[in-house]
Structure 1
Amino acid sequence: MTEETAVPVRPTRNRRQVWLAVAVTQLVLAVLTVGAVTLAYNTLNGNIEDGETINHQATKQPVAAEDAGPMEPLNILILGSDSRSGDGNDIDGLGDIGERADTTILMHVSANRKNAYGVSLPRDAIVDRPDCMDADGEMAAGAEQVMFNTAFSEGGAQCAVQTVEALTGIYIDHFLVVDFNGFKDMVEAINGVEVCLPKEVNDTEHNIFLPAGVQTLTGQDALNYVRERSILSVTGDIGRMKRQQAFIASMINKVKSAGILSQPLSIFNFLNAATSSIEVDAELDSVGKLADLATQFRNTGLSDIQFITVPIAEYPLDPNRLIWTEQADELWARIMDDQQLGKDFSATSIGADDSVGSIDEPTQTPSATPTEEPSDTPTTDDPTDEPTTDPDEEAAAEAAAEARRQAGLCT
Structure 2
Amino acid sequence: MSAESTPEPATPGSAGITGPRHRAARGRRRKPRSRGSRVLRVTSWAAAGIVVLGGTGFGYLYFKLNGNIKSVDINQALGTDRPQNVDNGSQDILVLGSDTRAGSNKKLGGGVDDGSARSDTAMIVHIYEGHKRASVVSIPRDTLVERPACTDSKGRTYPAARSVMFNSAYSTGGAACAVKTVESITGIRMDHYLEVDFAGFQKLIDELGGVGITTTKNIEDPDSHLNLKAGTHTLNGKQALGLVRTRHGVGDGSDLGRIQLQQAFIKALVNQVKELGILTSPKKLYDLADTATKTVTTDSQLGSVADLASFASGLKGISASHMTMVTMPVQYDPADPNRVLLAKTKADLVWKALKADKPIPKSATKGTAQGEAKGVVESS
For the superposition of Structure 1 and Structure 2, which TM-score range results when normalised by the shorter chain? Answer: 0.7 to 0.9
Q: 1:92 to 1:131 in 2, by over 3 A?
A: closer
Query: Match for residue 237 of structure 2?
Result: 219
The change in CA–CA distance for 1:206 and 1:241 in structure 2 (over 3 A counts) is closer
Distance in 2, matches of 1:162 and 1:214, equals 41
Q: Distance in 2 between matches of 1:209 and 1:257?
A: 26
User: Where does residue 352 of structure 2 map in the other structure?
Assistant: 333
The secondary structure found in structure 2 opposite 1:341 is coil
Q: 1:300 to 1:178 in 2, by over 3 A?
A: same
For 1:3-402, list aligned pairs within 5 A.
37-54=58-75, 55=78, 57-64=81-88, 72-91=89-108, 93-97=110-114, 98-204=116-222, 206-260=224-278, 264-325=282-343, 326-344=345-363
Q: CA deviation at 1:245?
A: 1.1
Contact kept in structure 1, 2:72 and 2:175, CA below 8 Å: no
Distance (Å, rounded) in 1 between the aligned partners of 2:63 and 2:100? 27
Give distance in 2, aligned partners of 1:229 and 1:403. Answer: 10
Shifted more, 324-333 versus 338-347: the winner is 338-347
- 1:90 is paired with a residue of what secondary structure? helix
Q: How far is the alpha carbon of 1:410 from its aligned partner?
A: 5.2
Q: Give the secondary-structure state (helix, strand or coil) at the position aligned to 1:308.
A: strand
| Paired residue secondary structure (1:300) | coil
**Shift in Å at residue 347 of structure 1?**
8.3
Equivalent position of 1:353 in the other structure: none
Tell me the distance in 2 between the aligned counterparts of 1:118 and 1:256: 19
Structure 2 CA distance, aligned partners of 1:37 and 1:347?
51
Change (3 A) 1:261 1:321: farther
Distance 1:185 1:49 in 2: 18
- Partners of 1:338 and 1:307 in 2: CA distance: 15
Max Rg structure: 1
Q: Structure 1 regions of 5+ residues with no counterpart?
A: 1-33, 65-71, 349-399
Q: How far apart are 1:221 and its partner, in Å?
A: 1.2
Q: 2:280 and 2:223 mapped to 1: Cα distance?
A: 42
Question: Which runs of 5 or more residues in structure 2 are unaligned?
Answer: 1-54
The one-letter code sitting in structure 1 at the alignment partner of 2:348 is: D
Cα RMSD, aligned residues only: 2.7
Task: Give the TM-score normalised by structure 2.
Answer: 0.77
For the 8 Å contact 2:74–2:175, the answer to whether it is kept is: no
1:369 matched to which residue of 2?
none
**CA distance in structure 2 between the aligned counterparts of 1:145 and 1:109, rounded to whole angstroms:** 30
**1:7-57 Cα shifts (integer Å, max 9, x gaps):** xxxxxxxxxxxxxxxxxxxxxxxxxxx998222212211111243233154
SS in 1 for 2:337: strand
- Identity, % of aligned pairs? 36
Secondary structure of 1:242 counterpart: helix
Relative CO higher for 1 or 2, CA cutoff 8 Å, sep ≥ 6?
2
**Cα distance in 2, alignment partners of residues 297 and 311 from structure 1:** 27
8 Å CA contact 1:192, 1:216 repeated in 2:
yes
CA contact (8 A) 2:99 2:109 kept: no
Equivalent position amino acid for 1:331 in 2: V
Question: Is the contact between residue 226 and residue 247 of structure 1 (CA under 8 Å) also seen in structure 2?
Answer: yes
Tell me the alpha carbon deviations over residues 300-339 of structure 1, each in whole angstroms, 9 at most, x when there is no partner.
2331122110111112332221011110011001111111
Q: How much has 1:200 moved relative to structure 2?
A: 3.0
CA contact (8 A) 2:170 2:177 kept: yes
Match of 1:17 in 2: none
- What SS does the aligned partner of 1:114 have? coil
Offset at 1:205? 5.0
2:108 alignment partner, SS class: coil
Q: 1:336 to 1:202 in 2, by over 3 A?
A: closer
Name the aligned partner's letter for residue 68 of structure 2: N
| 1:185–1:274 contact (8 Å) kept in structure 2 | no
Which residue in the other structure is 1:397 paired with? none
Normalising by the residue count of structure 1, what TM-score does the alignment of the two structures yield?
A: 0.71
Tell me by how many angstroms 1:262 deviates: 6.6
Instruction: Report how far residue 77 of structure 1 moved.
Output: 0.5
Aligned counterparts of 2:283 and 2:363: Cα–Cα separation in 1:
42
- Residues of 1 paired with 2:238 and 2:91: CA distance? 32
Alignment check: 8 A CA contact 1:89 1:181 kept: no
Q: How many residues align?
A: 319
